[in-house]
Structure 1
Amino acid sequence: MSTPGGVPILRLGDVLVTGVLNELDDKSAVAFADELTARIVSDSANGVLIDISRLEIIDSFVARMLMELTTMARLLGARVIVAGMRPAVAITLVELGLRLTGVETALNAEQGLVALGWQRMPQRPGEAPHDSLR
């Protein structure tokens, strides 16, 4: 399911998985925040993973949006992890003096899901490796 701004929000058990792209303007950011918070409530989500690995640049607007989304989700009882930050994005945040206060991060989406309680399914003997998550 996608938000009105076109950002997909997927449900994996009690975790919602979504992402942020560079093209997020004010209007689509508000629609995204509205949809995400509504989905946290309607899906009884305990966790939210926001993948920003496709985000090549960051500005104060996107940084503020991530902090606000995290705060809103926490108020609704969901833990948020922002995953996949590129080194250039981290450097830009530091250079601009922007702090993602209260935002928990993970190196990639898989580590973020593990932090939210997901585990890689154990491989059975003789079975080909796979990337399924439980």
Structure 2
Amino acid sequence: MNGGPALVSIMRQGSTLIASVHTALDDSELVRFEHDLVDQIGEHRSRGVIIDVAALDVIDSFAALTLRRIAEMARLRGALTVVVGIQPAVAFTMVQLGMGTGNVPTALDLEEGLQLLAEQALPAGPSRSSTAGDGSR
């Protein structure tokens, strides 16, 4: 984003992108992050996106809206998004202010986020064919 330390890192693990937000982002940085992440979804043909916000002690209404927008753009590009690491105080404040992540799935941490993505991928994956010939009907 600029010449200083990275505010966000985006790494690829298989068909999943993991975006870690390292510090609070202003509105223009959030928009830049949104564009960068959506571009990388197409570039890497990602099927899943995890946005890790564990380092944030505040998520304002614009940030919550941006997370929902990212998830919708990712969905339109064929990827499921999971937000992980929302701190307890942040969750409390978001609920008190009537903000939320909409229908964007959340998980406690990166491990649970990866597990959630794996579970979401099962219905379209090999499990359907593995049960088709098991003779149970």
Please state which band the TM-score falls in when normalised by the shorter chain: 0.7 to 0.9
Give the Å deviation of 1:22: 4.2
Instruction: State how 1:82-101 maps to structure 2 within 5 Å.
Output: 82-101=83-102
Give SS of 2:40's match. Answer: helix
Give SS of 1:117's match. Answer: helix
Give the Å deviation of 1:53: 0.8
Give SS of 1:116's match. Answer: helix
Q: Which has the larger radius of gyration?
A: 2
CA contact (8 A) 1:83 1:105 kept: yes
The residue number in structure 1 matching 2:13 is 12
The residue number in structure 2 matching 1:40 is 41
Scaled by the length of structure 1, the TM-score of the pair is 0.80
The residue number in structure 1 matching 2:31 is 30
Q: Closer, same or farther in 2 for the Cα pair 1:87/1:95, shift >3 Å? A: same
Provide the rounded CA distance (Å) in 2 between the counterparts of 1:42 and 1:58. 28
CA contact (8 A) 1:71 1:102 kept: no
Question: Residue 16 of structure 2 aligns to which amino acid in structure 1?
Answer: V
The residue number in structure 2 matching 1:122 is none
The residue number in structure 1 matching 2:79 is 78
Question: Residue 102 of structure 1 aligns to which amino acid in structure 2?
Answer: N
The residue number in structure 2 matching 1:64 is 65
Provide the rounded CA distance (Å) in 1 between the counterparts of 2:117 and 2:29. 26
Provide the rounded CA distance (Å) in 1 between the counterparts of 2:96 and 2:22. 21
Provide the rounded CA distance (Å) in 1 between the counterparts of 2:32 and 2:59. 19
The residue number in structure 1 matching 2:54 is 53
Question: Residue 103 of structure 2 aligns to which amino acid in structure 1?
Answer: G
Question: Residue 84 of structure 2 aligns to which amino acid in structure 1?
Answer: A
User: Unaligned stretches of 5+ in structure 1?
Assistant: 119-134
Give SS of 2:114's match. Answer: helix
The structure carrying a bigger helix percent of its residues is 2
Number of matched pairs: 115
The root-mean-square deviation of aligned C-alpha atoms, in Å, is: 1.5
Provide the rounded CA distance (Å) in 1 between the counterparts of 2:27 and 2:38. 17
Aligned-pair identity in percent equals 42
What per-residue deviation string (whole Å, max 9, x for no partner) do you get for residues 84-120 of structure 1?
11111110111101121121000111110111229xx
Give the Å deviation of 1:20: 2.5
